[in-house]
Amino acid sequence: MTNQRNIEKQEDRVDKIITFKNGFLGLENYKKYILLDHPGTDIIKWFQSVENSDIALPVINPVYFFPDYAPKISKTDLETIEIKSPEEALILCIITVPDDPKKITVNLKAPIVINFNKLLADQFVAENDEYKVRQPLQLSKPQRRCKGC
């Protein structure tokens, strides 16, 4: 994942507006986001809408917690954000933090795929049956194996 370096370099990230082709599912009216670090950690990032400040979704790099994570997304889908080979893609997954934070889940079924070179992204649905919309997440220590697999 060569593009992962890009988001860790401050100068590459600031003010770079990522355009979603369709938008997050259910939020199709909002297409422009910036990716911000959560204060004090590099594990959690936020997709912050530049069109509506109320819209922000927290994401993690799924590979950090699920090293085997490999969502199956069709070539046709990837072409909509001009991705031709897997190395061009950075994948992030949305986390949901309920009132009891121990019950945090991650959406492995519908990852966000980003083409950082073109600043294009979208939320796609992975064909993998084993990936859940609400996969429990152990935040304290990275899981060595994909428990959903």
Partner 1 sequence: MQRLLILSRKKQESILIGKNIIIKILEVEGDRVKIGIEAPKDMKVLRKELYEDIREENKQAMNASKDKFDKLFQLF
Q: Which letter, b or e, does each residue of 107-130 get, where b requires 16 or more Cβ atoms within 10 Å of its Cβ? A: bbbbbbbbbbeeebbbbbbbebee
Query: Which one, 77 or 147, has the nearer CB to partner 1?
Result: 77
Q: Distance between CA atoms of 33 and 123, rounded to whole angstroms? A: 13
Binding of partner 1 at residue 32 (CB under 8 A)? no
Minimum distance of partner 1 from residue 2's CB (angstroms): 26
Binding of partner 1 at residue 1 (CB under 8 A)? no
> How many CA atoms lie within 13 Å of 119's alpha carbon, on the beta-carbon side?
13
Among 20, 123, 131, 146, binds partner 1 (CB under 8 A): 123
Binding of partner 1 at residue 98 (CB under 8 A)? yes
Q: Distance between CA atoms of 5 and 68, rounded to whole angstroms? A: 20
Among 84, 102, 118, 144, binds partner 1 (CB under 8 A): 102
User: What residues numbered 53-82 form the site for partner 1, per CB under 8 A?
Assistant: 55-58, 76, 79-80
Q: Distance between CA atoms of 83 and 74, rounded to whole angstroms? A: 11
Percent of residues in the chain assigned helix, strand, coil, to nearest 5: 15, 25, 55
The residue count for binding partner 1 (CB under 8 A) is: 35
Binding of partner 1 at residue 149 (CB under 8 A)? no
Binding of partner 1 at residue 101 (CB under 8 A)? yes
Q: Which CB contacts under 8 angstroms, 24+ apart, belong to 28-35? A: 30/55, 33/121, 35/7, 35/114
Residue numbers of the site for partner 1 (CB under 8 A)? 21-22, 24-27, 38, 40-41, 44, 55-58, 76, 79-80, 94-99, 101-102, 104, 107, 109-110, 123, 125, 133-134, 139-140
